[in-house]
Structure 1
C-alpha cells in the first residue's frame, strides 16, 4: 500500500509551515492564492484524503455577475421552481461586475457550506474551485462568461445559432446594411452571438462592415448610445440586431429621438425574450434564450452532484428560438437622413 504523505511532509515540499497546510485544508481565507494553489496541487498529487465535512446546509448559493433587471428575475424564477420542491432556500450574491466573485464571498460560502453553488455569467478561478472542492461544495456555471474548463459542469444556450437566426431573418426581409450592438466581447456568449451574425452575412455574400459592429454592456444606455452613433453614420443601417433586449429598448429611444419609426424606417431584433419585449412599442422581435429552463437545469444538476450523482454530460446547451413580432419589416425604399 502506498504511504500517504503527512501534512508536515507536504508543508516541507511546498516551502510553508504545517499550520499553513492545515489552513488550506480547512478552506481558511488567510492564505495567499499562489500558496493555496501550490498546496492544493501537492495535496492532490500525494492523494491526501480530507476528512469528509459535516452535512451541508439546506441552502443553494446563487451568484450573479450583476444582480438587476428582468433578466435576473427570469433566472431566479427557474432556481426557485426547483429549490421549492427540494426544501432548500436561496442565498443571492453579486460579483459586482467581476467575472469571479471575491474572497469575501468565498469566506461566506465556506462558512455557510451550502448544498451547492450556481454561478450566472460568472465563474471561479482555479484556487476558488479548489477551495469549494476541498469542502465538498459542488458548483455549476450557467451561461459562463468565459471558458469554465472541461471539468466544470456548465449550462448554456445556443448563442451562435441565435445570432445566425436573428441576422438571417433580417437578410430574408431584404436588409443588407445590418448593424449589431453586442454585449461585452470579453464574454463568451457575446462573442458567439456576433460570430453567428458574421456567419449569416458571409453565407449571404454580404460583406461585414466593421463600422456596423459596436460593443455594448447589456444595459439600456449602451443601446441608446451606440444606436445614436450608428444611426448618425453617413450610410446608416436599415436594421440593427442587439445582444440583448435591454439594449434594444435603448435603441428604440435613440431611433425615436432621431424621428425614425420602427419598423418602417428601422428594423430591430433583440436577444433574450424578456417579458418586457412583448410590451415594447412595437413588440420586439427577439431571440428567445430559455433563461428559466436554463436555471432549472443548472439547479437540478448541482443538487444531483451534491447527492453523489455525476451528470451524464458536463456541458448542456439549450436551444434558442427566433420570436417574430412587429419590430422588423422590409427596408424602406428611401432611408431617412
Structure 2
C-alpha cells in the first residue's frame, strides 16, 4: 500500500483522540446542543489534527437537494432581490434553499465557521452561496476538502481564480453613472462608496475615476468617501460632502440604499434634488422608483445574478466545470428624475 492509499481517519479515531464517545463526537460534528464548550473544542481539535472528512468527496447527483445561502444582512432590498433570484432558480431545479445571516457575536459556531462548514458536509449539502461576505482562504480550503461547492456573489475580498464568483460589470456601471453626470455639465461630482474592502465598490470607484480622467476633469480626494452600503453611511458621507467649502453639485452613490441617505442629507441641508444636487444610485432595487424624486441609478440584474449563482453552484456540485469562474452580468443606466444640469454649469 502506498502512502496515498492510507486509510481515511474515522469518527471512532476522532472520538478516541478527543477522549469522548463516538456518539458525542457525532453530536459535535452535527452541531447538536447540550455539549460542554470544552468537550466541543476537544472534538473539533481532534477533527482538525486528524484531517477527518465526513464525506467521500463531491455530493452525488441524487443528493443535490439542499443549498445553503449566507448573507451579511437581510435588512435591505438588495438581499431580498438576490434571494428572489436564488429561490426562482431553485424551483426549477427541485432544490431546497436554506438561509443564514452572519452573526458578529457568534462564538465559533455561526455561519462559515469551521464547525458550521463541517455540519453542512455531514448533512450532505450541495454547497454554499456566499453573498457580499468575506470568505477566507482557510474557509475555502476546508470546503474543498469536504467536497462542498461554493459560489461568491459580489465578494468583498479577491480569492484565487478557482473560486467561482458572480457579479455585475461594476467598472462599466461606474463609468456610465459618471459620464451621465458629466454630460449634464457637472464637474464637482462626489463618490459615496461602499466599504473599502468591497471589490464591487472598488470597481465602481475605478469606473468613476476613469470617466473623470477621460473627460479631463481632475480628481479630488475630498470628493471620494468610502463608508458602506447602507442608508446611514450614505447620509454620513453626503453630509461630509455638503459641509465642504466647495461642495459637489452631484453625488454618485455606491448603491441605492446609500443614495437614499444622500437624499436625506440634501433634505436636511435644505437642498432640492435635482435642482441643487443631482444624485445617482447603483442597483435599481424596488426602492429606486419609490423615492422622491424617483432615483436615477445604474441597474445591475440582481435577480438574474441570484439565478446564475444557484445554477453555477449545482453545476460545480455535479462535477462539471463552470463556463466561467468570474461571471459578470451587464449593467445599464436608468435615468429618472434625480439628476439634471447644475444650476450654473461649470466649464470643463
TM-score tier (shorter): 0.7 to 0.9
1:268 equivalent in structure 2: 279
- 3-state SS of paired residue (1:214): strand
5+ residue gaps, structure 2: 19-24, 31-39, 106-110
Q: Distance in 1 between matches of 2:212 and 2:104?
A: 32
Q: Give a deviation string over 1:125-168, Cα, whole Å, max 9, x none.
A: 23322332233221111111111211111111111111111111
**Is contact 2:173–2:207 with CA below 8 Å preserved after alignment?**
yes
Q: Distance in 1 between matches of 2:334 and 2:46?
A: 50
Q: How does 1:1-337 map to 2 (within 5 A)?
A: 3-4=3-4, 6=6, 19=17, 30=41, 51-52=56-57, 56=63, 58-96=65-103, 101-333=112-344
1:7 shift after superposition: 5.5
Q: Distance in 2 between matches of 1:31 and 1:272?
A: 46
CA spacing shift, 1:135–1:86, aligned 2, 3 Å: same
TM-score by length of 2: 0.82
Q: Distance in 1 between matches of 2:93 and 2:324?
A: 22
CA spacing shift, 1:146–1:39, aligned 2, 3 Å: farther
Q: Distance in 2 between matches of 1:300 and 1:167?
A: 33
CA spacing shift, 1:226–1:33, aligned 2, 3 Å: farther
- 3-state SS of paired residue (1:181): strand
Q: Give a deviation string over 1:194-238, Cα, whole Å, max 9, x none.
A: 111111111111111111111121111111111112112111100
1:59 shift after superposition: 1.2
Q: Give a deviation string over 1:172-198, Cα, whole Å, max 9, x none.
A: 110000001100011111111111111
CA spacing shift, 1:35–1:334, aligned 2, 3 Å: farther
Q: Distance in 2 between matches of 1:126 and 1:75?
A: 24
| Count of aligned pairs | 319
**Is contact 1:301–1:311 with CA below 8 Å preserved after alignment?**
yes
Which shifted more, 129-138 or 272-281? 129-138
1:106 shift after superposition: 2.3
1:120 shift after superposition: 0.6
1:111 shift after superposition: 4.0
5+ residue gaps, structure 1: 11-15
- 3-state SS of paired residue (2:297): strand
2:21 equivalent in structure 1: none
1:298 shift after superposition: 0.8
Q: Distance in 2 between matches of 1:267 and 1:205?
A: 20
- CA RMSD, Structure 1 to Structure 2 (Å): 3.2
